[in-house]
Structure 1
């Protein structure tokens, strides 16, 4: 409980109270205006570099080694390798053969050159707005791609996604606010659980109650 509580504080997740701006964004979302955009109007799209799994040593470093798995945000392990093969993070990453879509905060190595890297154009690249965009890419295109018909750089050039807009342009500010609100809604139950357990198993209670048992 102590470690989890420290993590919540360090990551800024301890406060789950919605601001007035976040509440309004959630209420107004159903009436928000959306517009379709070509993926390539929003992102610069490139294929990742490639390092075969047989050529790496697992847990040999601190740089993420990505695969096309949905587990652990597509991170297979952390490695040390030739820096010439590194790809730039702060991007949306698509597993080319599986269509697993994730946000990658840090620079990384990739296991397959079929994987796609999407770098946001013409906007501040924050973690929150790219989490929103990654979800839009996943929800908007997942009906098209599978193992039998995998995505590619050539195919994505024609794809479109739907985004909230303001003055006919992507509204990155509302994306940021919505993701902030969603984080708080998701983490609220965890924080309440931690607070409850911390009180339940505090030293004072343990010293005064024969029924209290450690987790």
Structure 2
């Protein structure tokens, strides 16, 4: 059976202290990637990536394990709820809530995070912030025994079975696509080492030096869209920015190009698509796939800095005026071959981790599924 619970019955807001250093500066005291120094993930108004955009020093921010992160503000991210089993802190526009029950495990967080997001996501927004005083009054539905107690063991087994099912699907996908090949060639090994050791030369380029003029999409109102097969890209992180599949006669942008939305978020597109006027297209189609992805990463780093929002949108002219850093040849031109080899090597390294993780998880989860089935 299912039972409704008020969030204040199940969770309490964590009161965390931020011990900022003197003259705190984001560019100096935060990192976009996890390092030995910046090792504490920080929840903030980030849609996607589990609500984490920055990492801080654990000496600067207090962190907690086994919590849910709730985003209270943000045009897109308000009302997002993400499980945070690892030690996590808060930067801004978000907070952590702690379960009140004992013996919290990761599966409890995954299950309740989904239930919480379902309950609050559409009730709050940019003009109605999801602060705890409001959120705690909302109700979520959880499995329960006849006695009324929450069925935590059911939640645990349910999540484990879902994970086992997804792992089997992953195994089938890797085999079907040939992505089980993760052995680096000698050239790939050397290049990875060169990047790691800082021996690869780089140079800064203005985007309009490298590609033809960037292009802006054209507005197509939601009510005017017809159903079809063409991905239609708008601003946002959900579904990689694809808001609909349309049948309208619109300009089709080529695959192997890069889009940058009104907030400065860049994404690689390996398919034809249409887009609205909040999207800028950078014409990387002359590059091979892996070097185009490398350039997309450089574009995102240059554009997705927090300088663009609803009051100041990112447009095509902004893309053309971006400065990006790329590896270069001895003559100082962009070394797209090196970029492509490096991205293929990184792809293999990621796949290697996924395959090894998959093999380990299949072994352990098969036992769980068999026991549960019997």
1:106 match: 271
Q: What displacement does 1:194 show?
A: 2.3
Residue 74 (structure 1) shift: 1.6
- Distance in 2 between the 1:23 and 1:181 partners? 8
Instruction: After superposition, give the CA deviation of every residue in 1:88-111 in whole Å (9 maximum; x if it has no partner).
Output: 22201111x21121011111121x
How far apart are the structure 1 equivalents of 2:369 and 2:294?
49
Quick one: which of 329, 341, 358 aligns to 1:177?
341
> Do the aligned partners of 2:266 and 2:304 also contact (CA within 8 Å) in 1?
no
With over 3 angstroms needed to count, the CA separation of the structure-2 counterparts of 1:201 and 1:142, relative to structure 1, is closer
Find the partner of 1:151 among 309, 314, 321: 314
Find the aligned partners of 1:24 and 1:63 in 2 and give their Cα distance: 41
Which consecutive unaligned segments of at least 5 residues does structure 2 have? 1-166
Which of 191, 198, 204 aligns to 1:36? It is 204
Query: Judging changes above 3 Å, is the alpha-carbon distance between structure 1 residues 22 and 71 closer, same or farther for their aligned structure 2 residues?
Result: farther
Greater relative contact order (Cα < 8 A, sep 6+): 1
Report the CA distance shift for 1:72/1:19 in structure 2 as closer, same or farther (over 3 A): farther
Q: Distance in 2 between matches of 1:183 and 1:43?
A: 25
| Structure 2 Cα separation of the partners of residues 156 and 198 of structure 1 | 44
> Which residue, 37, 60, 63 being the options, matches 2:230?
63
Alpha-carbon separation, structure 1, partners of 2:321 and 2:269: 24
Contact 2:266 2:296 in 1 (8 A): yes
Report the TM-score, using the length of structure 1 for normalisation: 0.82
The gaps in structure 1 that reach 5 residues or longer are none
Aligned-partner SS, 2:299: helix
Q: TM-score, normalised by structure 2?
A: 0.49
Post-superposition shift, 1:132? 0.6
Deviation at 1:139, TM superposition (A): 0.8
Q: How many residues align?
A: 202
Separation of aligned partners in 1, 2:180 and 2:344: 13
CA RMSD of aligned residues (A): 2.5
Instruction: State the match for 2:284 in structure 1.
Output: 120
Shift of 1:195: 2.0
Moved over 6 A (4+): none
Larger relative helix fraction: 1
Return the alpha-carbon distance in structure 2 between the equivalents of residues 187 and 151 of structure 1: 34
Alignment CA distance shift 1:10-1:127 (3 Å)? farther
